[in-house]
């Protein structure tokens, strides 16, 4: 394929003096304030951007250390707003006057979307429409580039063993249906001339991941067990497979999509898939424990193979009404066109997450999970 590669170091679309706006998260911390937003801020500031973050007000913000909250300290200007409030979007877009908008704001917890389906649709589906309409209402559509954080969840009950940009969609949750709406809305605006792209990102994790996503739930529980602070990790479906990468790699892919001469959609994935069970085993291995599985179905438990101590149990309440059992992405197009490939392996990711949680408990920087029912 004779495609032009735009590497981080190339200068075809200059980064210097550019301004970016990152929309904030609603749940699961995926905006300027959360996992993806904070890594993206760091990348953009490093590239010489002025970065604005749209921050939704929630009291948790104020319980966190500012450096962690902002990702990059004073280099990022945060503004209160909400994708549910079109006026706030218009005001922030006018004030920031961005060259690039990274729309990450979402209710990003798939499990939670079953109990908050209307809210999730309002934020994830209509929220995307509101940002795009605000750009057009301000007459900014000719100069603003727009990135939509779409999700591998749109593949749902997968129609192909390995999913790529041409795989048919088959969403299985209110979250996934809403993301599919956001996908087609982005395509529609692109077809009307806006530089608008969808990043169809497979799961991406890090020590900054929200504590109610399965990888962080596992890494934090392993750290607590290592410190003798908690006994049993409680999970839902151990047998679902995910293509897990590192968020730092994925924000680089987002940025690259926005530097292309033409707007196109891209899958970002590692090309490897592992079960939740495997993640658990790998995480415990980091603290020298081999897990042995005993029993079946909801009675299945994981014990320390050398002592028989109970370490993992399952709870039917943590199973979703519908789950996506298998996701496995192909990063082929991103590799060929963007020159993107993930640098952090599955084992390195698990190690980094477990070690970070162990350190956080040691140095007192561990932030307690928000009280409430488990997800
Ligand atoms: O970590 P999860 O909650 O992530 P999920 O549902 O795959 O969604 C994440 O990745 C998507 C793709 O990038 C994003 F669009 C989305 O916003 C989010 O970031 O669950 C992963 C798997 C599921 O099959 C779930 O049923 O782990 C299974 N699981 C088993 N026990 C659990 C648990 N998930 C959670 N959250 N908590 C459990 O106790």
pLDDT band at 308 (very low <50, low <70, confident <90, very high): very high
Mutate which of 183, 213, 235, 328 for ligand 1 pocket (most atoms within 8 A of beta carbon): 213
Q: Is 79 exposed, middle or buried (0-12, 13-18, 19+ CB in 10 A)?
A: middle
Q: Token digits for 49?
A: 């951007």
Q: Which of 126-135, 224-233, 281-290, 349-358 has the lowest mean pLDDT?
A: 224-233
CB-based contacts of 279, cutoff 8 Å, min separation 6: 214, 215, 218, 244, 350
CB-based contacts of 32, cutoff 8 Å, min separation 6: 22, 23, 24, 38, 40, 41, 51, 53, 54, 55, 71, 76, 78, 104
User: In angstroms, rounded to a whole number, what is the distance separating the alpha carbons of residues 174 and 3?
Assistant: 36
Q: Which of 13-17, 42-46, 326-330 has the lowest mean pLDDT?
A: 13-17
Cα of 110 vs centre of ligand 1, distance in Å, is 7
Q: Is the CB of 214 under 6 A from ligand 1?
A: yes
Closest CA to 277 of 296, 258, 254: 296
- 365 has a pLDDT exceeding 60: yes
Q: Is the CB of 357 under 6 A from ligand 1?
A: no
Average pLDDT over residues 42-48: 95
pLDDT band at 25 (very low <50, low <70, confident <90, very high): low
Q: Is the CB of 29 under 6 A from ligand 1?
A: no
Site of tokens 């996506």: 324
The answer to whether the Cα torsion of 250, 206, 150, 67 is positive or negative is: negative
Which atom in ligand 1 lies closest to the alpha carbon of residue 179? 15
User: In angstroms, rounded to a whole number, what is the distance separating the alpha carbons of residues 243 and 329?
Assistant: 7
Query: Could you tell me how many residues make up the chain?
Result: 375
CA atoms within 13 A on the CB side of 360: 21
| Contact call for residues 26 and 241 (beta carbons, < 8 A) | no
Cα of 214 vs centre of ligand 1, distance in Å, is 6
Q: What pLDDT does 24 receive? A: 75
Shortest-distance Cα residue to atom 34 of ligand 1: 214
Q: Is the CB of 34 under 6 A from ligand 1?
A: no
Q: Is the CB of 151 under 6 A from ligand 1?
A: yes
- 74 has a pLDDT exceeding 80: no
Q: What pLDDT does 70 receive? A: 42
Shortest-distance Cα residue to atom 4 of ligand 1: 213
Q: What pLDDT does 7 receive? A: 45
Average pLDDT over residues 285-291: 98
Q: Is the CB of 111 under 6 A from ligand 1?
A: yes
User: In angstroms, rounded to a whole number, what is the distance separating the alpha carbons of residues 127 and 81?
Assistant: 12
Structural domains of the chain sorted by starting position, each given as residue range(s) with its CATH number in brackets: 16-206+244-268 (3.40.50.720), 214-241+274-326+347-363 (3.90.25.10)
Shortest-distance Cα residue to atom 20 of ligand 1: 214
pLDDT per residue as tens digits for the range 136-182? 999 999 999 999 999 999 999 999 999 999 999 999 999 999 999 99
CA angle 143–147–152, rounded 5-degree value? 160
Q: Token digits for 211?
A: 């504590």
Q: What pLDDT does 13 receive? A: 58
| Contact call for residues 163 and 329 (beta carbons, < 8 A) | yes
Cα of 256 vs centre of ligand 1, distance in Å, is 26
Average pLDDT over residues 102-110: 97
Q: Is the CB of 152 under 6 A from ligand 1?
A: yes
Q: What percent of the chain has pLDDT over 90?
A: 82
Strand bridging mode 76-80 / 50-55: parallel
pLDDT band at 373 (very low <50, low <70, confident <90, very high): confident
Cα of 144 vs centre of ligand 1, distance in Å, is 32
Tell me the average pLDDT of the chain: 90
Cα of 250 vs centre of ligand 1, distance in Å, is 17
Average pLDDT over residues 347-375: 87
Shortest-distance Cα residue to atom 27 of ligand 1: 214
| Contact call for residues 26 and 56 (beta carbons, < 8 A) | yes
- 67 has a pLDDT exceeding 50: no
Which atom in ligand 1 lies closest to the alpha carbon of residue 205? 19
pLDDT per residue as tens digits for the range 206-237? 999 999 999 999 999 999 999 998 679 999 99
pLDDT band at 16 (very low <50, low <70, confident <90, very high): low
- 282 has a pLDDT exceeding 70: yes
pLDDT band at 61 (very low <50, low <70, confident <90, very high): very low
Cα of 362 vs centre of ligand 1, distance in Å, is 27
Which atom in ligand 1 lies closest to the alpha carbon of residue 276? 27
Q: Which of 65-74, 121-130, 219-228, 276-285 has the lowest mean pLDDT?
A: 65-74
Strand bridging mode 291-294 / 301-304: antiparallel
Q: Is the CB of 201 under 6 A from ligand 1?
A: yes
User: In angstroms, rounded to a whole number, what is the distance separating the alpha carbons of residues 325 and 275?
Assistant: 9
Q: What pLDDT does 40 receive? A: 96
């Amino acid at each position: 394929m004779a495609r032009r590669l735009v590497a981080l170091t190339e200068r075809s679309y200059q980064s210097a003096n550019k301004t970016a706006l990152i929309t904030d998260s609603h749940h699961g911390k995926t905006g300027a304030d959360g996992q993806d937003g904070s890594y993206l801020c760091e990348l953009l500031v490093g590239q010489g951007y002025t970065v604005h973050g749209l921050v939704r007000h929630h009291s948790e913000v104020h319980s966190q250390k500012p450096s962690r909250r902002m990702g990059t300290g004073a280099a990022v200007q945060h503004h209160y707003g909400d994708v549910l409030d079109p006026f706030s979007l218009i005001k922030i877009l006018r004030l920031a006057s961005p060259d690039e908008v990274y729309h990450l704001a979402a209710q990003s917890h798939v499990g939670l979307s079953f109990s908050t389906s209307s809210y999730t649709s309002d934020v994830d589906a209509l929220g995307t429409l509101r940002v795009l309409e605000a750009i057009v209402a301000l007459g900014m559509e000719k100069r603003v580039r727009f990135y939509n954080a779409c999700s591998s969840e749109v593949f749902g009950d997968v129609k192909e063993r390995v999913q790529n940009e041409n795989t048919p969609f088959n969403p299985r949750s209110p979250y996934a249906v809403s993301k599919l709406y956001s996908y087609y809305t982005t395509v529609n605006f692109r077809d009307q001339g806006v530089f608008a792209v969808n990043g169809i990102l497979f799961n991406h994790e890090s020590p900054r991941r929200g504590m109610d996503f399965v990888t962080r739930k596992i890494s934090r529980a392993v750290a607590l067990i290592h410190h003798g602070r908690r006994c049993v990790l409680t999970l839902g479906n151990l047998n679902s497979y995910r293509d897990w990468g590192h968020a730092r790699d994925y924000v680089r892919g987002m940025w690259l999509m926005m530097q292309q001469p033409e707007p196109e959609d891209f899958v970002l994935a590692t090309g490897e898939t592992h079960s939740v069970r495997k993640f658990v085993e790998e995480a415990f291995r980091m603290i020298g424990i081999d897990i042995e599985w005993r029993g079946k179905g909801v009675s299945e438990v994981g014990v320390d193979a050398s002592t028989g101590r109970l370490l993992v149990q399952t709870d039917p309440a943590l199973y979703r009404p519908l789950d996506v059992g298998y996701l496995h992405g192909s990063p082929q197009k991103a590799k060929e066109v963007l020159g993107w490939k993930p640098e952090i392996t599955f084992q390195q990711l698990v190690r980094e997450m477990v070690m970070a949680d162990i350190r956080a408990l040691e140095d007192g920087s561990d932030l307690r999970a928000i009280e409430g029912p488990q997800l």
